[in-house]
Structure 1
Amino acid sequence: MNFRFLSRTFPLRDYYFYVPKLCLGALGFWPLDTCEPGAFNVWAWVNLIILTIGVVTEMHAGCLALRTDLELALDTLCPAGTSAVTLLKMALIYYYRQDLAWVLKRMQDLVYERDVSINSVKKHIVRAHAVMAARLNFIPFVMGFITCTSYNLKPLLMTLILYVQGREPMWKLPFNMTMPPFLLRAPYFPLTYIFTAYTGYITIFMYGGCDAFYYEFCSNTAALLELLQNDLKSILSFGGDKFTLTAEESTVLEWRLVQFIKRHNDIIELTRFFCKRYTVITLAHFVSAGLVIGASIFDLMTFTGFGIVIYIGYTIAVLGQLFIYCYGGSMVAESSVQLATVAFGCDWHACNPRLRRYVLMIIIRSQRAISMSVPFFSPSLVTFTSILQTSGSIIALASSFK
């Protein structure tokens, strides 16, 4: 993997959805690769079937463990819940692949317009958002990868410790799954172990890619809104220090304002289009993340030894994935509202009454923030804080039963 994308020296256009493309492309789910009508990606379906088997067997094992061992049940159901939500995300990403491919192409046309490459201010705005998106998206992916690797190495390390101590090794799978007995014995056990470990990596790459896709969209939308702010300052400073404009200048200014409004409408409509496709994914992510955070921190409080390392990484990964949803939603809302402030601060009072009405319409529309909302809530940093408080309450309640 080339880590140059984490620096500011990476080519600007190559930043575009880099982490989502890396993660989803590895599993065969990158929309631009599967958007052709009638296209059938064998690798994508293989991964989908493998994860389906993993989710069913892991859920069954977790439900059985609830009757006898609560800690084992939580240790099983936490990754099982994450895998189940990931399976839902896989299905929806594949179902909406043509719509998401259109979003990618349309967003790229809007962000990398012709004058972005020659305007240093616009280039700086786009690069700042691109670098931040690449870095923030990579953090939860890395933490998830570390967590999955820890799960996969834990049985091997435990077996090695028992062997060094001269005791009989206990061969276990990385994730607690219900498997036919013959698959847990030689010569099939190594293959079963590899299959189980691979389901974890499918979850990490799909989870990371799907969530990074959401944040990358939010980051590019915020960049577009900042570009609009820059354009509006340029448009409304058209007349310089003059308090009156000629008829020709007013005509040119009106045309530029109309183009500005159309561009603003395109961003709003694109955001609404994307949110409809991501509604179920966002809802499922928030519900599962809140429960997993509480369960993983409870496990962190009860586990000892190597289990603590696993759940520290698990908690950070889930919090990171939740944070990028909330931060992305806040970033879009704040950037859209800021457009009204920029418009009001310009010299729009020097325009004729017709042009002033255009500017006032821009101000009024911008005061209503562009929202990444889904039914029941809107992803924002306020929502992130509320989820943390709720998770803390779950932890306190669980601790009282110890």
Structure 2
Amino acid sequence: MWSFHRLLRRDQPLRSYFFAVPRLSLDIMGYWPMGDDLPVRAIVHFVILSIGVVTELHAGFVFLQNAKITLALETLCPAGTSAVTLLKMLLMLRYRRDLANVWMQLQRMLFDAGLNRPEQKAIIHENSVLAARINFWPLSAGFFTCTTYNLKPLLIALILYLQDPDQELPWNTPFNMTMPKVLLAAPFFPLTYAFIAYTGYVTIFMFGGCDGFYFEFCVHISSLFQSLQEETRAIFRPFEEYLMLTPAQCARLELQLRGIIIRQNSVFELTSFFRKRYTVITLAHFVSAALVIGFSICNLLTVGNNSLGALLYVAYTVAALSQLLVYCYGGTLVAESSVELSRVAASCPWSLCAPRQRRVILLLILRSQRAPTMAVPFFSPSLNTFASILQTSGSIIALAKSFQ
């Protein structure tokens, strides 16, 4: 664990940052895409979470039928998150080889494609540190939320015991799940409690790994676009004081520009390939996150002065918003870094070139302006989308408060 925390600093080797958080999370669960054989722990975790999802959804619907709205919302909130995690597990298995190819191709483009300029290495290093730090935040927020859920029944029992040691203590499970009564009594209750608590951590680490893989990809695609920006500046830098270029200089400049366009097209193709594999995951994540935020807000408004319950739902809302931010910020990085390449190309002294080279620069500008996006049906993940979600959530809270 200490070696992992070292990655949050800036002085570690560059390759050690590469997909550090998603690799840690997915490797624990057995879903890291590299390797030919699927680890046994991947199947075990899938079965564990499947049992948790089925029993939790059943408990939620039973509460709804009995008109226990607060308990139903409290149950369906984590149940929806776990159900989406189960879908992510299936899709990570479905696209296991494709994601492995994406990882290897991205590694080759970053470290083995001749990006040797100090400015390019600094860009890759800066973005890699950014990816590790931001990916660590949703994982930490989710871990804190799950731990709060798991400790809540124990803390309640402890407080009641301190108030009156002779009273019969209520022993509840961390998450509301429909379990056989024999498993909720001695001597099986501790094992049942541990099993239910562990299902929460399976959800957290799969979210941290799957969402972290998405954000790492977006950050490194942004690094490649920024490296192309720096390379575009570098090839024009020797000619800043020139009034005209010779035919030989124009030919050499055109060759370098064509190399930039070829690498740009490779980045576009890789982004499109990855986006198609993550379309269902992204769409399902946003839908589930919207429901989770709505459930958490409703629960937060109904707990009143219950400080422990309020802490629980605040933590859940922060975790859900953190996961949304990862997707939205990643989509913004990809789009804006591509558009910035067009601005860099347009600001270079292209007027020194012959008409043939000007056409090549124009193609580079036009291609960059048609920025790749991480769009899915109905919306595109971006910071504007995230701001709209926050604004809508605030409006819902204000509306609900007005009826109290």
On whether the aligned pair clears a TM of 0.5, the verdict is yes
Letter in 2 for 1:81: G
After TM superposition, give the deviation of residue 366 of structure 1 in Å: 1.2
Whole-Å Cα distance in 1 between the matches of residues 68 and 402 of structure 2? 18
Gaps of 5+ in 2: none
Partner residue in 2 for 1:189: 189
Whole-Å Cα distance in 1 between the matches of residues 391 and 113 of structure 2? 46
Partner residue in 2 for 1:143: 141
Identity among equivalent positions (%) equals 55
Structure 2 matches for 1:311-390, cutoff 5 A? 311-390=313-392
Partner residue in 2 for 1:61: 59
Partner residue in 1 for 2:16: 14
Structure 2 matches for 1:292-303, cutoff 5 A? 292-303=292-303
Partner residue in 2 for 1:247: 247
Q: Is the 8 A contact 1:328 1:380 kept in 2?
A: yes
**2:48 aligned with 1:50, yes or no?**
yes
3-state SS of paired residue (1:242): coil
After TM superposition, give the deviation of residue 401 of structure 1 in Å: 6.0
Residues 290 and 106 of structure 1, relative CA distance in 2, 3 Å threshold: same
Structure 2 matches for 1:42-191, cutoff 5 A? 42-66=40-64, 67-113=66-112, 115-116=114-115, 118-164=116-162, 165-166=164-165, 167-191=167-191
Gaps of 5+ in 1: none
Letter in 2 for 1:94: L
Q: Is the 8 A contact 2:48 2:199 kept in 1?
A: yes
Whole-Å Cα distance in 2 between the matches of residues 244 and 305 of structure 1? 72
Whole-Å Cα distance in 2 between the matches of residues 114 and 331 of structure 1? 21
3-state SS of paired residue (1:379): coil
Structure 2 matches for 1:186-225, cutoff 5 A? 186-225=186-225
User: How big is each residue's C-alpha offset from its partner over 1:200-257, in whole Å with a ceiling of 9 and x where there is no partner?
Assistant: 0000000111111111111101111100000111123354522333333222222111
**Deviates most, 200-209 or 293-302:** 293-302
Residues 114 and 281 of structure 1, relative CA distance in 2, 3 Å threshold: closer
Whole-Å Cα distance in 2 between the matches of residues 393 and 88 of structure 1? 31
Q: Is the 8 A contact 2:19 2:213 kept in 1?
A: yes
RMSD of the alignment, in Å?
A: 1.5
Partner residue in 2 for 1:234: 234
Q: Is the 8 A contact 1:235 1:253 kept in 2?
A: yes
After TM superposition, give the deviation of residue 395 of structure 1 in Å: 3.6
Letter in 2 for 1:291: L
Whole-Å Cα distance in 2 between the matches of residues 387 and 74 of structure 1? 20
After TM superposition, give the deviation of residue 293 of structure 1 in Å: 1.0
3-state SS of paired residue (1:286): helix
3-state SS of paired residue (2:171): coil
Structure 2 matches for 1:249-264, cutoff 5 A? 249-264=249-264
Partner residue in 2 for 1:30: 32
Whole-Å Cα distance in 1 between the matches of residues 238 and 263 of structure 2? 19
Q: Report the TM-score when normalising by structure 1.
A: 0.95
Q: Report the TM-score when normalising by structure 2.
A: 0.95
Letter in 2 for 1:338: E
Q: Is the 8 A contact 1:298 1:399 kept in 2?
A: no
After TM superposition, give the deviation of residue 281 of structure 1 in Å: 0.4
After TM superposition, give the deviation of residue 156 of structure 1 in Å: 1.1
Q: Is the 8 A contact 2:30 2:38 kept in 1?
A: no
3-state SS of paired residue (2:34): helix
3-state SS of paired residue (1:237): helix
After TM superposition, give the deviation of residue 15 of structure 1 in Å: 0.4
After TM superposition, give the deviation of residue 162 of structure 1 in Å: 2.1
After TM superposition, give the deviation of residue 114 of structure 1 in Å: 5.4
**Deviates most, 295-304 or 255-264:** 295-304
